[in-house]
Amino acid sequence: MTANQPITVGFIGLGNMGSGMTRNLQLAGFPLVVNDIRQESAASLFEAAAAGAAPVTWGANPGEVARLSDIVITMLPTPRHVDAVLNGPTGILSGIADGGTWVDMSTSVPEVAVRARSEQAHRGLHILDAPVSGMSVGASTGMLQIFVGGEADDVERIRPVLEAMGDPERILHVGAAGAGYAVKLMINQLWFSHLVATAEVLAIGVKAGVDLEVLRQSLIASPANSNFVQNDVLSILDNGDYDEGFAIALACKDLGLSIDLARSVGVPAELSAVVEQIYRRAKAQYGDLAGEMTPVKLYEDLIGVKLRRADVADADAAAIAVAVSASVAAASVAVAEEVLADAVLAETVSPVAEEVSA
């Protein structure tokens, strides 16, 4: 790279998150060198390059990606994958130049990076952790929130690259190396806890006869309000979408990592352990690829009611119609029969199909 040339970004991991992130890097004009276990995952990038977007090169292995890049980014499923991609025979460390920069944007733990810093200290490498929040939608729109751990000078140096993938106002330098990993794990831990608590509360309230939307609005107006109750749960309540863009197997992985972190710093995590077990039960019941919000379905199945705003409204209308029919039965059998017919119709018109997205 010369002073007049853009930074060449290496990117390893073109899954649900990485595909959107690399697309936005390309749109921002950064030449790319990419690698994934599936070469076809880069097809759209090469098509865009052929149409005039920033160029893309396929790296045969992580080491080659690092050798051809000014900065190399990893976005991988687990710490085991990060370790293999970094330390394998053709891993990043085999190709990265002395003084090079590696940014791990995976939801992971610090151990792999700590070992690299220790064993490669003589090479002057710049190693940052920068996990993200915002799910695949944020990756696609370039509006991720990014939590960066590392030296302040390094964070500012790579900020243009981060801003191509994230919301500039929400790219946060959260502390020294490892802090990014910790912040992201705690965010996930709290979000999953919100999900389970919300599912339990809504299921109990609906089973007790409270209108679903009345209950949700009551929670929003109370000190118990949360972003999950106000916004995130609507994907289920309105669309039956359990967010299959992020598999529950990965959610279970993240919960396990957050509990491991709690154990490593000596803080009991009893509540998170219960949430993890509920997630693992949902994973066992609905499969590894079920969406990260599938634990809500556990509660729906327990009470025999899908938590949908339209469904509950229709059921409520049916109950009202039945009550009215009973009150007028003595006055007019004919009218009563008509109202009962309306109630039956209201009960049968309400099904909402579950949205399935790969």
CA atoms within a 13 Å half-sphere pointing along the CA-CB vector of 74: 32
Whether 184 is a known active-site residue: answer: yes
Other C-beta atoms within 10 Å of 107: how many? 26
Q: Tokens 């009991």 map to which residue?
A: 268
* Closest-CA residue to 107 (of 151, 142, 70, 144): 144
Q: Tokens 């751990």 map to which residue?
A: 149
* Closest-CA residue to 202 (of 213, 191, 189): 213
CA atoms within a 13 Å half-sphere pointing along the CA-CB vector of 241: 11
Task: Report the distance separating Cα 90 and Cα 138, nearest Å.
Answer: 31
Buried b / exposed e along 68-90 (16+ C-beta atoms within 10 A): bbbbbbbbbbbbebbbebbbeeb
Name the amino acid, one letter, at 65: V
Task: Report the distance separating Cα 298 and Cα 302, nearest Å.
Answer: 6
Residue in 184, 283, 297, 306 annotated catalytic: 184
* Closest-CA residue to 33 (of 92, 104, 112, 94): 92
Task: Report the distance separating Cα 162 and Cα 143, nearest Å.
Answer: 10
25, with CB counted inside 10 A (0-12, 13-18, 19+), is buried
333, with CB counted inside 10 A (0-12, 13-18, 19+), is exposed
Positions marked catalytic: 184
